[in-house]
Chains A and B, each alone.
Chain A
Amino acid sequence: MIEPPQSHTKCEISFQVNGKLVAVRAYPMERLLDVLREELGLTGTKEGCGEGECGSCSVLMDGVLVNSCLVPALQAKGVNITTVEGLAEDERLHALQQAFLDCGGAQCGICTPGMILAALHLLGKKPQPTIEEIREGLSGNLCRCTGYAQIIEAVAEVGRRGIAG
């Protein structure tokens, strides 16, 4: 069936975020990043460069790492999004969050949610990644504080402990 082109008005877009079904009214070309932050109040996802260079806005879309600043809202219709808010279970931090704390992998915190989601995507493919694989898995995420060593160590630690913590 051919849907007519969207007019210049907002449309209803529904998708799952962190396991919950949500419906938002948004312009189809609104960035998923803005929908998450402004409409849904999920401000854990950060904006850095706004052009796919820094990875601060990384989320998982149907389990796959994407830069939410480069996803038009309409393309999120019917998908399953995971943001950093979806990782902890009540007061219990996700193994990656705990490892970032333990290893000093977070300083100013802007890159951290994106780093953690990139690491989650990597560990889904490679549960015990080598240092080289961690570097490649996080290569689209920039950090201006840590020098990366503590971040890489945190991910390696989760590889050793297992993602279940």
Chain B
Amino acid sequence: MRARPAEYELAAPGTLSAVLSLLAQEPGEWLPIAGGTDVMVQYSAGRLPSRKLVSIWNLPELRRIETIGGKIWIGAGCTYADLCDQEIVRREFSLLASAARWTGGIANQNRGTIGGNIVNASPAGDSLPALMVYDADLILVSAKGRRSVSYSDFHTGYRKTRLAPDELVESICLDRRFSGYYAHARKVGARHAQAISKVCFAALGRLADGVVDDVRLAMGSVAPVPLRLSETERLVKGHRIEPELMRLASRTAAAEIRPIDDIRSTARYRAAVAGNLVAEFLERLSVRGRTI
């Protein structure tokens, strides 16, 4: 059933503090809407859980990117296009820039926001594995104040998060310590643009004296939440990349994910792809990681 616009309210108070006080007055009643690339789809289909929406699109407080010393703060209201436009994101957080370029098409990149991708909490969100391997912290804000939560602890289950009903994600804080790592991103889907991932993958690695000194792997669309491949990381760390290790790592990755059959793919295909993606990354790391 199509939504009837007359049945919905939309407030646009125009400042972050005004939005937060509205959320504080009636926690859980107001659904924030930024660029609408997820919310408007649910709305048009008549599936929106809330009849009251508050616009956070283009709030200046949420659309800043700031670099202070060894850290960068990305406002949650920054669009995918904003991320791609930033030299520091392209250079030092290339996994995030790649994910942003693979999300939707240009029009969706101009409206979809990184905060929206986080709060929408889909296990298939393309930017989420990147946030995981970069150890992102989320700054959450409400009328009562701010708190910081590690992104790795934020998604608690399928489309569930630690965000309180009166809170917004204000910014994403990234540490700049990964710039010397070999970075590798892959999206496996019907196509890059528009298609939702069957599997998406973000990986960072560093070699020292031919041995894997550090490795960080995360995947989307393979579990109810974006998943860090901790067992595979443990297996690989401290070892030389050789064919036997690649085979073992591949099997471990396929075993530690929890994929399902759905409209986009099957659990079996996803497990095979997950293993192959890990092997491909290790192969490239063994060649390219040396020169870093």
Contacts and interface: CB of A to CB of B under 8 A. Distances in A.
Given A27-B6, A30-B5, A72-B55, A118 B107 contact: yes
B255 interface: no
A140 B8 contact: no
Contacts of A66: 107, 110-111
How many chain A residues sit at the interface, stated as a range, is: 35 or more
B52 interface: yes
Interface SS, A side: loop
A74 B40 contact: no
Interface stretch (B29-37, B127-135, B220-228, B263-271): B29-37
Interface stretch (A45-53, A88-96, A105-113, A153-161): A45-53
How many chain B residues sit at the interface, stated as a range, is: 35 or more
B110 A50 contact: no
A72 B106 contact: no
Contacts of A65: 106-107, 110
A67 B21 contact: no
B33 A72 contact: yes
Given A3-B13, A55-B107, A65-B107, A140 B193 contact: yes
Interface of B: 3, 5-14, 18, 21-22, 33, 35-37, 40-41, 43-45, 52-55, 57-58, 81, 101, 104-108, 110-111, 191-194
27 contacts: A1-B14, A2-B22, A3-B13, A5-B11, A6-B11, A8-B9, A27-B6, A27-B8, A28-B8, A28-B9, A29-B9, A30-B5, A31-B5, A52-B37, A64-B110, A65-B110, A67-B111, A70-B41, A70-B111, A75-B12, A75-B36, A75-B55, A118-B107, A121-B106, A136-B106, A140-B108, A141-B105
